[in-house]
Chain A
Amino acid sequence: MLILSKLLIFILLLLISVAFFTLAERKVLAVIQRRKGPNVIGAFGFLQPISDGLKLLIKETIIPSHSNNLIFLFSPVLTFFISLVSWGPIAFDKKSVIGDINLGVLYLLGISSVGVYGIILSGWSSNSKYAFLGCLRSAAQMVSYEVSIGFVIISVLICCNSLNITEIIIFQKNVYFGIAFLPLSIVFFISGLAETNRHPFDLPEAESELVSGYNVEYSAMGFALFSLGEYSNMLLMSSLNIILFWGGWLPTFLYFIPGILNFPLKICLFTFLYIIIRAILPRYRYDQLMLLGWKIFLPLSISYLILNFSILYSFDVYNY
């Protein structure tokens, strides 16, 4: 019973944070572009996400006549489910984990592999050319950048000998992995941008190229679930980045911040980074995107892994 209430509170807080993340994105984008974001509904636009959610709920759900109904209705559910379920092993504090499994990082990799199917299913079942093209491009992009994410994770894991997230964080007590492996953390961050179909890698869902890509046929609640899943995936990638490279819930040089707030504040920092990168950079063309993933990041991460392992082996400091 206790675990059920824990789960419920966690999902509620996650959804609220995702909703206000949309508002934060619009406001920060606006400030960078020298305008004001939504400020009409509620003070400083605070009720904007609620009104957006209400609008999407009330809207009519349109199912295309030639679509595969079961898979059409199932794919946003799958995407949202995957994005919620992958928050299981994430540790917010020493004992604040929903499920502290010993293979937490492997679980996250597996879940993101299944998350590709939400997009493939949605694009295929829409029975529309643009959606199909968008889904194939998006799936190929996600699979490509997952490979370099995997190699970056392995480079970190051979140093700390455990896939358990709490142990990875505790291992960084003295120095963060982001300071020791700064290029790797940058590669992981950019691959995380590509994995979540986020700008500058959001060609599969760009409005001018593909008319919103794989979720073009989804109105109302389906679209709401897709966008909730995308923002939740963004938060998840930020938190994975923080866990692997920037210390998780460990205190920073600002010692006055209470312990439980360290992790959320670091997530806030990374989401700001996501939004700022969206505001600043132009979009990659698809072949440039794939070139980056396969010809630049993959050799870089593999060679960094070999370098890392060679250093550990030659100084004889690996321990298993």
Chain B
Amino acid sequence: MVKLTLLLSLLSIFSFSIFIVDNLIHSVFLLILLFLTSSFILFLMQVDFLGFAFIIIYVGAIAVLFLFVIMMINIKNIENTKAKSFKLFILICCCCGIFFNQWSFFFYHSNLLYWDLNISRLFDSFDNIFLISKLLYSFYNFSFLIAGLILLVAMLGAILLTMNFKPNSLSQLSPKQNARISYFNNSTFFIKKSIN
């Protein structure tokens, strides 16, 4: 229980410090620490696969993306012209978050493991990945596929939003060059004249 209160207080400190700190990249580093702390909380609750998944996906990919965006766009740091009492106010909120961590108390005094799905006999000695997959691919398979579709839409949207169709861009390996290659002196590819 001590570990959980410690981790939750670290969580509240990091999350409040994200918008206290002046430098923008320090905020992103604090976000990374926040992700790490939440994955440690997951390890503490014995959900080890999700903990590692958080580290790989959030810390390893999403935060790297945030960092790249912030580093490559020339963002000027906002001058903190507000009075000092705002920071003090946030610090006090932080301390309240530490000292009134009621959630940790509730976690150790609740029985939220026994659902009404008649699969309680599976909880004996199977590992995390088996248990997650037993539900994810059978009972929630539609949600799983929809989540995949949402990710696909997000990826396509990001690519389409940043693409600009330049008519005179020089590029190699174009279909025209490929059509000039005749492998057996007889075959050429049939291509239509494209706009770009």
Other-chain residue from B49, B59, B64, B71 in contact with A103 (beta carbon distance below 8 A): B49
Q: Are A143 and B60 in contact (CB under 8 A)?
A: yes
Quick one: given A102-B127, A117-B32, are A110 and B64 in contact (CB under 8 Å)?
no
B67's closest neighbor in chain A, by CB? A120
- Taking CB atoms, residues of chain B closer than 8 Å to A143 are 60-61, 64
A71: chain B residues at CB < 8 Å are: 29
A139 partner, pick from B49, B52, B64, beta carbons under 8 A: B64
B59 touches A113 (CB 8 A): yes
A114 touches B59 (CB 8 A): yes
Query: Could you tell me the distance in whole angstroms from the C-beta of A17 to the nearest C-beta in chain B?
Result: 27
Closest Cβ neighbor of A139 among chain B residues: B64
B7 within 8 A of A: no
> What is the chain A residue whose CB lies nearest that of B134?
A320
- Residues of B within 8 Å of A140, CB to CB, are 68
Cβ A136 vs Cβ B49 within 8 A: no
- From A113, which residue of chain B is reached at the shortest CB distance? B60
Distance to closest chain A CB from B43 (angstroms): 10
Per the bound structure, the CA–CA distance linking A204 and B48 in Å amounts to 34
Chain A, interface size: which category?
20 to 34
- A103:B60 contact, CB within 8 angstroms: no
Check A116–B55 contact: CB distance below 8 A. no
Q: Point out the residues of chain A lying under 8 angstroms from B67, CB to CB.
A: 120
Known: A103-B52, A117-B32. A136 touches B60 (CB 8 A): no
Least CB separation from A320: chain B residue: B130
The answer to the question of A246 belonging to the interface, with a C-beta cut-off of 8 Å to chain B, is no
Q: Give A161 Cβ to nearest chain B Cβ, in Å.
A: 10
Q: Is the interface of B mostly helix, strand, loop or mixed?
A: helix
Contacts A120-B64, A139-B64 given; does A110 touch B52 at CB 8 Å: yes
Interface mask (A115-159 → B, CB under 8 Å = 1, otherwise 0):
011001100100000001000100110010010000000000000
A109 within 8 A of B: yes
Say yes or no for B117: interface residue by CB 8 A criterion: no
A124:B64 contact, CB within 8 angstroms: no
Contacts of B129 in A (CB 8 A): 163
Verify B72–A136 contact, CB threshold 8 A.
yes
Most buried by A among B53, B56, B60, B61: B60
- Cβ contacts A216-241/B at 8 Å (1 or 0 each): 00000000000000000000000000
A107 at the interface (CB under 8 A from B): yes
For residue B48, which residues in chain A have a CB less than 8 angstroms away from its CB? 102-103
Question: A106 near B: Cβ within 8 Å?
Answer: yes
Q: How far is the CA of A188 from the CA of B25 in the complex (A)?
A: 33
8 A Cβ contacts from B101-155 to A: 127, 129-130
Q: Is A113 within 8 A of B61, CB to CB?
A: yes
Q: Complex: how many Å from CA A136 to CA B129?
A: 34
A107 to B60, CA, bound (A): 12
**Contact assessment for A110 and B130 in the assembled complex, using a CB-CB cutoff below 8 Å:** no
Do A116 and B71 have beta carbons less than 8 Å apart? no
CB distance from A90 to the nearest CB of B (A): 17
In the complex, are the beta carbons of A106 and B60 less than 8 A apart? no
The distance from the CB of B40 to the nearest CB of chain A, in whole angstroms, is 12
Residue of chain A at shortest CB distance from B57: A113
Expressed in whole angstroms, the minimum distance between the Cβ of B68 and any Cβ of chain A is 7
Q: How many Å from the CB of B133 to the closest CB on chain A?
A: 8
A101's nearest neighbour on chain B, judged by CB, is B48
Distance between Cα atoms of A103 and B72 in the complex (Å) = 36
Partner of B56, one of A109, A120, A121, A124: A109
Going nearest first, the 7 A-B pairs with the smallest beta carbon separation are A113-B60, A110-B55, A106-B52, A110-B52, A110-B56, A113-B56, A109-B56
22 sampled A-B residue pairs with Cβ under 8 A: A102-B48, A103-B48, A103-B49, A103-B52, A106-B56, A107-B52, A109-B52, A109-B56, A110-B55, A110-B59, A113-B55, A113-B61, A114-B55, A114-B60, A117-B64, A120-B64, A120-B67, A124-B25, A124-B71, A136-B71, A136-B72, A139-B68
- A132-B71, A146-B60 known, 8 other contacts, Cβ within 8 Å: A103-B48, A110-B55, A110-B60, A113-B56, A113-B61, A116-B64, A143-B61, A163-B129
Point out residues on A near B: beta carbons under 8 Å: 71, 102-103, 106-107, 109-110, 113-114, 116-117, 120-121, 124, 132, 136, 139-140, 143, 146, 163, 320
